[in-house]
Structure 1
Amino acid sequence: MFHRLTATAAALALTAGTALAAQDTITLGMVLEPPNLDPTAGAAAAVDEVVYANIFEGLTRIGPDGAVRPALAESWDVSEDGKTYTFHLHTGVTFHDGTTFDAGDVKFSLDRARAEDSANAQKALFAGVDSVEVVDPATIAVTLKDPDGSFPFNMAWGDAVIVAPESAADLATKPIGTGPFRFVDWVQGDHVTIERNPDYWGKPVALSRATFRIIADPTAAFAAMMAGDVDAFPNFPAPETLAQFAADPRFKVIVGSTEGETILAMNNKKPPLDNVTVREAIAHAINRQEIIDGAMFGYGTAIGTHFAPHNPDYVDLTALSAYDPEKSKALLAEAGVNDLTLRLALPPPTYARRGGEIIAAQLAAVGIKTKITNLEWAQWLEQVFKGRDFDLTIVSHTEPMDINIYARPDYYFQYGKPEFVALMDKLAKTADPAGRSAILKQAQEMIAGDYVNAYLFQLAKTGVANAKIEGLWENSPNQSNDLTEVHWIE
């Protein structure tokens, strides 16, 4: 009897131990598959969703509140003239392949990002760097051409993570960073897996393993959550089912804000879209609320320019491009445009595919026909973003504080107005908060008045998770699924 009880107790203990152990792994759903796993050589948000703060780290990082925090740099000093930032690095840090991290890796990473042949999608972040000097293994001095108070923020982007010369060439498929997780495998079309880094220099993470499953179809995403095949879906693609999850005690619904300005982007160099009157006509043909209700089931905030409404410097310019189909028709007549057909390229996200159908109907109502092409994410990046081969497209720009993209004449919607470029140059040289605020407001008004794009809505962050999971971000001040504080509760 004694031995039987002991065996039973042992079996129960083993079962309990197994159950407890299982609660340090997580499976997350993602709509878009990353085209590669190198955040320093790709524009897709899905790259950062997997690797930012998990595999790779920068000198600084963005926290869940949007504030800049120390990362590989434990602190930094700024010279009196505001041009030189001296970063003091953590010591005892190693990359996942065992190589040592030091100031030489920082110099390599920054010089690589700003090089003439750089593949970095946000090369402009580094344009103001004049020189990078190794002071000693734990100290790096970055001298800028002009003072820039936002430099620590720029260094917190995924595009500015620190990589090693030994592994940089293969990061697209073998990401090696200094982060609390290390890469395990990537089965294309299915999942990416990462595991706890036992040699991490900082605070150990609670999760031993995380798997990112690629589930693009909203119906399949719903089924996977309900079946428990996925533990959390931080950016859930089926907002129409959120009420059902909210009513089920097994789940929690997490609704917050993002940096995602969702726009109907227009090719400003492609006739007749090179005519501001035609772009204005398109903007007035758009009923934002109908798109928010029809494509996003009410989740989203209408915007009239490329700026987040939760930012204190936001200007509400929605009235400038208010829904007015009669005005739209009159503007098209004024521009001498009739029988117009435009190509509308749609990437996979729900907001684009569902929103595109609604916008096509709205444009048809004012006499503009559209030819819709559904593109996979890699196709969209190649054809639209890199090739600029499109008329219209819908995309959510999830990078933080990214109005400066309008200063790039070769950016995919091809604006780059000299007066706007001058504004951004002035912004970079302005440290005074009031002065920066005034410039940002002027910038918002300029692109809205030029109807560069049709501004739709600020993407809401709608997530679903197992009710026992804590630590997922409510808001998305950047593009990451930062797992550093994620854990299960009993």
Structure 2
Amino acid sequence: MGTNRHDLSRRHLLASGATVSAAAIAGCIGGNGDDDDEGNGEPADGDSSSFEFTQELERDEDFDPIHSNDAYSVQVFKLVFDSLYTWDDGLGLEPQLAVDMPDVERDGTRYLYEIHDGVEFHNGDEVTAEDVAHSFMAYQEEESVNEAQYDMIDSAEVIDDYQVQVDLDHPFGPWELQTMAIYVVPESERETEADREEFNTNPVGSGPFVWSDFEHNEFVTLERNDDYWGDVPDLEEVTFVDNVDPASRISEIRAGDTDAIADVPNDDFDELEAEDGVNVHLSESPSYMHLTFNCRDDAPTGDADVRRGICHAFSMTDFVESRLENVAAPLSAPIPPITNEQWDFPLDEWHEEHYPTYDPELAEELLEGAVDDDWSPRILAPGDHRGDLAERIVTRLHELGYDGAEAVTLEFGPLLDQTVYNEDPSPDDFQAYLLGWTGGPDPDAYLYNLYHESQVGVNQAHFYEGRGDFHDNIADARESADFDERYDLYEDVMIEMLEELPSLPAYSFHNTMASRDYVQNLEAHPMVQQNPRIAHNNVTIQ
């Protein structure tokens, strides 16, 4: 699943830039201690068999994989469920419930899967092909918010107890890279709407941990599944809490009031990395932060020159290097560098040729006459680093004489309501917004969800009509399995975006965590929803 796929609740994914990848940079980078050394501190709860993880944002408390679109809920339920395929240490898939990679037939539109026999859900029922077929089809049948990621599936047919045949309406390029990595849910627990409501906050899977205790908006506790069919983890209990205040999270990890935290702020990074008793972990991620414009004809930013003027009014590179040097990397295109490792688009060349540079004289020239002297653009953003970026842009517009320019920071829900879910905004609602998206190893995760016209009101609100075949090229690329054809289509789309600027690619935000040094084997994964990888890496407390 492409969680936040926006920033996943779809709120959290959309706005956190944390939604569901090729090797990636993943691992521990510092702290005063080696992950193989025995820690000197004590576990937060005094119990070496329990682990507490403090998340950086509130969960939407949606724990049904079919309907959840929230990275922070996924971080919890990924331990309850097994996947047909799961992520390796980077952005590649490896079999989990599946015995091997699928057999592929019918020109890439038929996939045959075999699953392990003898695997049981937590309710004692065996995991069968019926459950796998149900997990593939439920997105469409239940009109899931994630349906667009699976709407190319024509049917999922049970061959026998352990074999499933999935037929697609058309070839789908991302299928083997990402889409087939579904969580397998038990059909028997989700037969009615009432069943699914219960399942959403009391899920039953086949994974290494069992749902134990849950207090809405406070905590989730999972207990080890001693009958797990795979490698049974050492930890007996895992508890997820959240703390949205960065300074408070840092204080907690320093004091040993929690075992690990997510999201180390840039300003605390170096100091925390040097702290005794603490290890800092970082991974490059497939996150994509973007400044997206209202391209409707009735909005001033519907004029490409106005968009160009705003982009030349400030330096994105300077902002990232001065404000986020430890935790982010500037972008040159609407895909992050880790995604490009499998595609090799000439991002450096594109940056040199197309990416807007700081040029206030050119900005003034482009804006003069294109907007009124009392132009008062509103740039909307969440109240984190993106809010800081909005303030930076507005400051530069003030310097050009547009004193009415305003940076507006909002909570995620109201922010999305005013932008992404606002299908008929007035020019005064917003001229631009700053949000984020986490994709994976395929450009489709970004270009279709964020820029195809079908996703207006679902994942984006730029209303960019495009030149010529812009939208057709995005659709054609996702319906092709030919790499070279897809490459050419995506190249045309991304160059047009850099020239016309419906969005300005901003930066890719790294995944960071910090842990007490008695926590062993914890590593940051590129996919934010996969952190912390407690079972996969067999995290222990010593």
TM-score range, shorter chain: 0.7 to 0.9
1: CA distance, partners of 2:405 / 2:481: 45
> How many Å apart are 1:277 and its aligned residue?
2.2
1:47 matches 2:96? no
> How many Å apart are 1:131 and its aligned residue?
1.7
Residues 174-193 of structure 1 mapped to structure 2, 5 A cutoff? 174-193=202-221
2: CA distance, partners of 1:329 / 1:151: 46
Gaps of 5+ in 2: 1-42, 191-195
> How many Å apart are 1:300 and its aligned residue?
1.7
In structure 2, relative to structure 1, the CA distance for the partners of 1:381 and 1:102 (3 Å cut) is farther
1:62 matches 2:96? no
Residues 332-371 of structure 1 mapped to structure 2, 5 A cutoff? 332-348=367-383, 350-368=384-402, 369-371=404-406
1: CA distance, partners of 2:112 / 2:75: 29
Correspondence for 2:14: none
- Alignment partner of 1:143: what SS? strand
Residues 228-278 of structure 1: per-residue CA shift (max 9 Å, x gap) = 112112322x22112222222311122220111111222333612332222
In structure 2, relative to structure 1, the CA distance for the partners of 1:114 and 1:408 (3 Å cut) is farther
Residues 399-438 of structure 1 mapped to structure 2, 5 A cutoff? 399-400=439-440, 401=442, 402-403=445-446, 404-405=448-449, 406-409=451-454, 410=456, 411-413=459-461, 414-415=463-464, 417=466, 419-438=469-488
1:459 matches 2:481? no
C-alpha contact (below 8 Å) 1:332/1:338 kept by paired residues: no
Residues 84-483 of structure 1 mapped to structure 2, 5 A cutoff? 84-115=110-141, 118-121=143-146, 123-156=147-180, 160-165=182-187, 166-167=189-190, 168-236=196-264, 238-269=265-296, 271-310=299-338, 311-312=340-341, 313-314=344-345, 315-316=347-348, 317-319=350-352, 320=354, 321-348=356-383, 350-368=384-402, 369-387=404-422, 391=430, 392-400=432-440, 401=442, 402-403=445-446, 404-405=448-449, 406-409=451-454, 410=456, 411-413=459-461, 414-415=463-464, 417=466, 419-477=469-527, 479-481=529-531, 482-483=533-534
C-alpha contact (below 8 Å) 2:314/2:396 kept by paired residues: yes
1: CA distance, partners of 2:61 / 2:295: 29
1: CA distance, partners of 2:385 / 2:201: 29
> How many Å apart are 1:78 and its aligned residue?
0.7
Correspondence for 1:4: none
Residues 393-440 of structure 1: per-residue CA shift (max 9 Å, x gap) = 222212213222222431322446472332233323443444433333
- Alignment partner of 1:397: what SS? strand
> How many Å apart are 1:181 and its aligned residue?
1.8
In structure 2, relative to structure 1, the CA distance for the partners of 1:329 and 1:57 (3 Å cut) is farther
In structure 2, relative to structure 1, the CA distance for the partners of 1:40 and 1:176 (3 Å cut) is same
2: CA distance, partners of 1:257 / 1:438: 26
The one-letter amino acid paired with 1:64 is D
C-alpha contact (below 8 Å) 1:64/1:477 kept by paired residues: no
- Alignment partner of 2:486: what SS? helix
> How many Å apart are 1:455 and its aligned residue?
1.5
The one-letter amino acid paired with 2:291 is L
2: CA distance, partners of 1:343 / 1:336: 14
1: CA distance, partners of 2:510 / 2:433: 19
After TM superposition, the runs of 4+ consecutive aligned structure 1 residues lying more than 4 A away are 18-21
> How many Å apart are 1:284 and its aligned residue?
2.0
1: CA distance, partners of 2:178 / 2:85: 9
Q: 2:53 aligns with which of 28, 34, 40?
A: 28
C-alpha contact (below 8 Å) 2:300/2:371 kept by paired residues: no
- Alignment partner of 2:285: what SS? strand
> How many Å apart are 1:489 and its aligned residue?
5.8
1: CA distance, partners of 2:295 / 2:211: 40
> How many Å apart are 1:477 and its aligned residue?
3.6
Residues 44-98 of structure 1: per-residue CA shift (max 9 Å, x gap) = 322323323x123332122221111112222221115221001111222233334
Residues 181-229 of structure 1: per-residue CA shift (max 9 Å, x gap) = 2223333443332222233222212222222221111110111111111
- Alignment partner of 1:132: what SS? strand
1: CA distance, partners of 2:213 / 2:473: 44
In structure 2, relative to structure 1, the CA distance for the partners of 1:96 and 1:374 (3 Å cut) is farther
Structure-2-length-normalised TM-score: 0.78
Correspondence for 2:25: none
1: CA distance, partners of 2:390 / 2:116: 47
The one-letter amino acid paired with 2:61 is N
Structure-1-length-normalised TM-score: 0.86
C-alpha contact (below 8 Å) 1:39/1:47 kept by paired residues: no
C-alpha contact (below 8 Å) 2:44/2:259 kept by paired residues: no
2: CA distance, partners of 1:251 / 1:198: 30
In structure 2, relative to structure 1, the CA distance for the partners of 1:475 and 1:249 (3 Å cut) is same
In structure 2, relative to structure 1, the CA distance for the partners of 1:89 and 1:382 (3 Å cut) is farther
- Alignment partner of 2:165: what SS? strand
Residues 12-34 of structure 1: per-residue CA shift (max 9 Å, x gap) = xxxxxx99992232111211112
> How many Å apart are 1:294 and its aligned residue?
4.6
Q: Greater relative contact order: 1 or 2 (C-alpha under 8 angstroms, separation 6 or more)?
A: 2
C-alpha contact (below 8 Å) 1:27/1:229 kept by paired residues: no
C-alpha contact (below 8 Å) 2:66/2:135 kept by paired residues: no
RMSD of the TM alignment (CA)? 2.8
C-alpha contact (below 8 Å) 2:115/2:162 kept by paired residues: yes
1: CA distance, partners of 2:228 / 2:289: 37
In structure 2, relative to structure 1, the CA distance for the partners of 1:224 and 1:429 (3 Å cut) is same
C-alpha contact (below 8 Å) 1:28/1:212 kept by paired residues: yes
2: CA distance, partners of 1:135 / 1:21: 50
Give % identity.
23
In structure 2, relative to structure 1, the CA distance for the partners of 1:419 and 1:221 (3 Å cut) is same
1: CA distance, partners of 2:290 / 2:89: 24
C-alpha contact (below 8 Å) 2:511/2:528 kept by paired residues: no
Residues 270-321 of structure 1: per-residue CA shift (max 9 Å, x gap) = 6123322222222222311332245424432111321112323342333422
